[in-house]
Amino acid sequence: MITDNLLNSGEWRQVLSEEDWTALDDLIKGGDDGVIKDLHWSNQVFVDSDRRMVFDGEPYVGILVQLQNGPVSSVELILTGVREIRLDTTHDLVMRVDVRLELITLWLSGEGRSRIVGREFFYRLPAKAILGADRFDISI
C-alpha cells in the first residue's frame, strides 16, 4: 500500500507482484497523459585505459516519466538485469507490468511494441517533482 509517508519519502520501492504494480498504477494512471522524459541505459560493460573489456555488473535501464494528471507528476523507474529492450516512440505511453518467475516485463505502449524485460523493477516517487526540460541522469 502506498501511503502519504511513502509519497513524501523519495525512497526506492521494489515491484514484486501484480499487487505492487496496481498500487503504483493507481497513482500514475498507467502513464496516461505522460511522457518518457529521459531514459538511461547502461550495459555495465566498458573498455578500460588498458583497452581491456571490463564486466561491471548487470545491465539496467533508468527511466523518468513525467505525468500531467493525477496525484503524482513524476516517477523514476529502474529495471535491473535487463535482457531485452524494445522502444517504439510513435505510440502514446501506456504502462503495464507482467510479473513472472524471475522476470518482470514493463510494457510501455498499448500496442505491445515497446517493452523492457528485466530481473528486478524498482520505482521512486520523488519528494519534489522532477519536471521541466533539464537533463535527468539516474544511476544505481
Q: What is the pLDDT of residues 76-88, one digit of tens each?
A: 999 999 999 998 8
Residue 31, pLDDT score: 78
pLDDT tier at 3, thresholds 50, 70, 90: very low
- The domain ranges of the chain are 4-124
Residue 119, pLDDT score: 93
Residue 87, pLDDT score: 87
Nearest by Cα to 32 from 109, 98, 86: 109
Q: Average the pLDDT over 28-46 and give the result.
A: 85
More confident residue, 131 or 43: 43
Q: What is the pLDDT of residues 49-77, one digit of tens each?
A: 999 999 888 899 999 988 887 778 889 99
| Residues 123 and 24: beta-carbon distance below 8 Å | yes
3-state secondary structure 46-87: EECCCCCEEECCCCEEEEEEEECCCCCCEEEEEEECCCEEEC
7, pLDDT greater than 50:
no
